[in-house]
Amino acid sequence: MAQSSSRIGVSYYQQKNYPKALQIAVKNSDPRMEGSSSLNIGTTYLKLKNYPLSIQYLERALTIFTKLKNQLRIARCQVQVGEYCLETRNYAKGFESAGEALDHSRSMGFMEVELSAAGLMRRLSLAVRDTLKAYDYTILESQIKDSLTSGEKQRSLTKLEAQYQFDKEQTRKTLAQQRRDYITIILIIILISGIVILLLLRGRLKVRAKNAILRKESLEKELEFKNKEMVLNVMALMKKNEMLADLSEKLIKIEGEAKTEEGKDTLKKVAKELQKSQEDEILSEFSLRFKEVHGEFYDKLLVKFPNLSPSALKICALLRLNMSSKDIASLTGQRVSSRETARYRLRQKLGISNSEVNLITFLSQF
C-alpha cells in the first residue's frame, strides 16, 4: 500500500498537482518507503516554495537513505538539496551538494541523476555568472544526453532484438504446433478413411458371400430339380422299356405259333430289331439328359480312367444316380445277373475290386 501510494504521489507530482501529491504521501514503518515519501514530500514543498518544510523532508530523506546505503536515492536527495540551495540562493552549499551528486552518480553509473546534477551545476554557474563553468557543464550535459540517447537506442535495439527472437520462437512453436495438428488431422482422416474402407469391404464381402450362398442354393435347387426331372425321365424310359419288352415277348410267342418258316424268321427279326432299337434309344436319351445335369462327370472319370468304354460310362452314370442293378437291368432290358457281372467288371476297371469301397460312393466323388 505504501509503495502504491508513493507511486500515486509521484504521478500527482508529475501532473503538478502538488497539494494532492502531499495528501497522498503516507508514513510507513518501512524505512525505505518512509525515505521515498520524505523525498517526494520535500520535492513537492520545494515546488510550492515552502522552503522550510522542503529542506526538513529532504534532509530527513537523505539521512534515511544514508543509513540504508541506498546510493541512487542518496544522489537524488543531493540533487534536490542542490535545487533547494539554488532557490534559496545558497550557492556555496548548492555547488557542494550538486558536486557530490555529480561525482556520486558518475562513479555509480546513475546517468539520469548525473544529467540532473550536471544541469543543476550549469544553472548554479549561471547564477554566479561563471559562464566558463556553465559552458563546461553544458557540454557535459550534452554528452550525458548523447550517452543516454545512445543507451536508450541500444536498449531499444536490444528490446527489439529480444522481441524479434521471442516472436521468432513463438512463430516456430506455432508452426511446429500447426504441423503437429496437421499430422494429427491427416492421421485421423487416414484412420477414418481406413475404417470406412474396411467397413465398405466388409459389407461388400458380406454381399458377395450372401450372393454366393444364394447362387449356391439356386444351383442346388436347379440341380435337384434337374435330378428329379431326370429321374422321372428314367422312370418313363423304364416304363417304355417294359412296354417294349412285353411287345417283344408277344412277338416271340406269335413266332412260335407261326406256320411258315418265313413268317417265323420275319417275326424273330422284328423282335431283335425292336430290342436293339429300344436299348440304343433309351441309353442315348439317358446320356443326353445326364450330361445336361452332370456335364463334368464323364470328363473327370475319363481323366482318371481313360480306358472306360461308352457302355461302362453309361453304367457309371446310372450308378451315379444311385440306381440298383435291378433298375439298371429294367432300363437296359438285360437280366439282373448280367448287370451284376457287368458291375463286377466295372469295379475291376476302377481298381476297387479287392476293397470294400461302395461303388456308388466311389462314383459320387466325380
Pick the CATH number of 2-159 from 1.20.1050.10, 1.25.40.10, 1.10.10.10, 3.20.20.70: 1.25.40.10
The predicted structure's pLDDT at residue 27: 46
pLDDT in tens, 53-82: 899 989 988 999 999 888 889 999 999 999
pLDDT band at 4 (very low <50, low <70, confident <90, very high): low
Predicted confidence band at 212 (pLDDT cuts at 50, 70, 90)? confident
Q: How confident is the model at residue 125 (pLDDT cuts 50, 70, 90)?
A: very high
In the structure, what pLDDT confidence band is assigned to residue 246 with cuts at 50, 70 and 90? low
What pTM was computed for the model? 0.41
Mean pLDDT value across residues 264-283: 60
For 281, left (φ over 0), alpha (ψ -120 to 50), or beta? Answer: alpha
pLDDT at 122 over 80: yes
Thinking of the domain 294-363, which architecture would CATH place it in? Orthogonal Bundle (1.10)
C-alpha cell recorded at residue 299: 470328363
Q: Percentage of the chain with pLDDT > 70? A: 67
Task: Note the pLDDT of residue 226.
Answer: 65
Tell me the per-residue pLDDT of 344-365, one tens digit each, with 9 for 90 and over.
788 888 888 777 778 888 877 7
pLDDT digits (tens, 9 = 90+) for 157-167: 677 778 888 88
Q: Which pairs count as long-range contacts for 147-154, CB under 8 Å and 24+ apart, including other chains? A: 147/111, 148/111, 148/112, 148/115, 151/111
For residue 30, the 8-state DSSP code is S
Res. 26: pLDDT tops 50: no
Confidence band of 135 (pLDDT split at 50, 70, 90): very high
Check whether 192 has a pLDDT greater than 90: yes
Average pLDDT, integer, range 145-156:
74
Ranked by mean pLDDT, the top range of 59-63, 210-214, 295-299 is: 59-63
- Is 213:221 a contact under the CB 8 Å cutoff? no
Mean pLDDT score of the chain: 78
**Is the Cβ–Cβ distance between 245 and 333 less than 8 Å?**
yes
Q: Rounded mean pLDDT of 144-161?
A: 75
Report how far apart the first and last C-alpha atoms of the chain are (Å, whole number).
107
Residue with cell 505504501: 2
Which of 24-28, 156-160, 214-218: highest mean pLDDT? Answer: 214-218
pLDDT score, position 284: 67
> How many other CB atoms are found less than 10 A from the CB of residue 311?
12
Residue range(s) occupied by CATH 1.10.10 in the chain: 294-363
> Cα–Cα distance between 87 and 81 in angstroms, integer?
10
Helix (H), strand (E) at residue 244: helix 131-257
Torsion region of 69: left, alpha or beta (phi above 0 gives left; psi -120 to 50 gives alpha):
left
* Region(s) of the chain under CATH 1.25.40.10: 2-159
> What per-residue confidence (pLDDT) applies to 84?
94
Please calculate the CA angle 270-274-276 and round it to the nearest 5 degrees. 120
Mean pLDDT of 320-349: 72
Interatomic CA distance for residues 318 and 291, integer angstroms: 12
Greater pLDDT, 236 or 59? 59
308 three-class SS: coil
pLDDT tops 50 at residue 219: yes
